[in-house]
Amino acid sequence: MDLRNFWKVVKFTITQQVKGKSFKVSTIIILLAVAIMTSLVNIIPAIQDKKANNKETVNSEEAEFKINTAYYNDNSGLNIDISNDIKNSFKDLELINTSDSKEIASEKLKDTEENMVYIYVSKGELGYSVELLKPGNDKIVKADAKVLVGAVSSSLDAGRLIGAGVNPEALQNVMAPIETDILEAKDATITMEERIMKTVLPMVACLLLFYIIYFYGYWVANSIVAEKTSRVMELLLTSTKAMELMVGKCVGMGLLAISQFAAIILTVILSLKISGKLAQKLIFEGAKTIDITGIIAKIPLIQMIAIIVFFILGYVLYSILNALIGATVSKLEDLQMAMMPVSLIGVCGFYLAYAAVMAHGSKGVAAAAAYIPFSSPFYIPSAILAGNAEMGQIIIGLIILIVTIVLLMLFTVRVYSVVILHTGNRVKIKDLISIFKKEQ
């Protein structure tokens, strides 16, 4: 194979594809869609965080203790000074001793506009009681009244224990509150970035790899048929060999695929960075944003290399298939029908890989997706990101994929030079097998 001719084909393929409106428009639409979707990943949670923060602020304002004055009447005979305890618990509450009866207190509370209450401590047959009188309006809620009554009761209990000779330090330990909480059995230490890396990123990677590998492979076939239709193919074959032409087309489209893939990754990084800063500046300062650089930094180098290798080999597999199919067709109208078998293989491979990713490494589905060469380029990179890929699976899947590519290449090399100049009806699979046998 002449490298100069090979690179001429590569350059010609890239130039022809980039000059087309469909490539430019589709690239712009894809990058815009990626930018919008990745920006929403930061913007929507920021809006939710702001709403939650506003709700917490409202709740905290509503929960503010609103009793300003408490008139205290102790007829129990305990003679316990609770003023210090109440002052420590309620900084803005004024505790005033009073001799007003309940009847007088009720009259005063009827028409008052103040946030005040009356507290009465008395001794009954069974023990002591603490009663609180509050205004009939809604200025003082029952929750505040219960909190205050509870504080008075606790202070009286502590005073009684001290009066009975209990050591104050021992009393402090006895009276210390016991906090309770309910926790769920899950990994609370996992960060948002780690959750994304384990769940969202593998699914997105599977979709993105399918798009890049499958559709760029399809464009290889489309380019070959278009050139056959316009007779450009005959001109190319006068200066290049069929093998140089096929490999050059596949490599040219592959370089475009890598370029668009890199552009998508760069768009994701920039849009997440920019949207994160805008969300914190314009929506909610305390919003949690995704640190994409932190996610990428957590992917080991060996895994990155494995992902790139499977991406390249997956593209090679599908581009060879599509180049062969493209060579068997003379008219663009026949291409869709000719592509049906490859399309079916690609879609089935993608859905198998996606099912394995969603199954979180379920052994049966994962093994099938890893070992079948038409699904492994989609599944194994996603499984690596999710942490579900076993080293044995990766190695076996890689070997099977390489062997499949070599066998397909050997078959294609023998028949390509014959079918590339074919015009007329579409060459069927059985015809390709016959040509392969003759060329041997």
Of residues 62 and 88, which shows the higher confidence score?
A: 88
- Rounded to whole angstroms, how far apart are CA atoms 124 and 103? 19
- Rounded to whole angstroms, how far apart are CA atoms 412 and 418? 10
Confidence check: pLDDT of 225 > 80: no
- Rounded to whole angstroms, how far apart are CA atoms 392 and 396? 6
| Residue pLDDT, tens place only, 85-119 | 899 888 889 999 999 999 999 988 887 888 899 99
| Residue pLDDT, tens place only, 363-419 | 788 889 899 999 998 888 888 887 777 888 889 999 999 999 999 888 887 777 777
**Domain extents for the chain?**
3-43+191-439, 69-175
pLDDT at 415: 79
pLDDT at 231: 63
The reported pTM is 0.63
pLDDT at 188: 47
Q: Which range among 237-251, 284-298, 337-351 has the greatest average pLDDT? A: 337-351
pLDDT at 190: 52
247-268 as b/e, with b when 16 or more CB fall inside 10 Å?
bbbbbbbbebbbebbeebeebb
| Residue pLDDT, tens place only, 129-174 | 999 999 877 778 888 889 899 999 989 988 888 888 888 777 777 7
Q: What is the mean pLDDT of residues 6-29?
A: 83
pLDDT at 61: 47
Shortest CA distance to 72 belongs to which of 120, 33, 39, 143? 120
291 burial (CB, 10 Å; 0-12 / 13-18 / 19+) is: middle
Right CATH number for 69-175 from 3.40.5, 3.30.420, 3.40.190, 3.40.50?
3.40.190
pLDDT at 179: 59
Looking at this protein, which amino acid is placed at residue 264?
A: I
pLDDT at 235: 64
Give the other-Cβ count within 10 Å of 102's Cβ.
Answer: 12
pLDDT at 119: 94
Q: Which range among 45-49, 128-132, 217-221, 294-298 has the greatest average pLDDT? A: 128-132
pLDDT at 284: 76
Give the other-Cβ count within 10 Å of 193's Cβ.
Answer: 18
Q: What is the overall mean pLDDT for the chain? A: 81
Please, which pLDDT band fits residue 198 given cuts at 50, 70 and 90?
low
48 burial (CB, 10 Å; 0-12 / 13-18 / 19+) is: middle
- Residue 95 region, left (φ>0) first, then alpha (ψ -120 to 50), else beta? beta
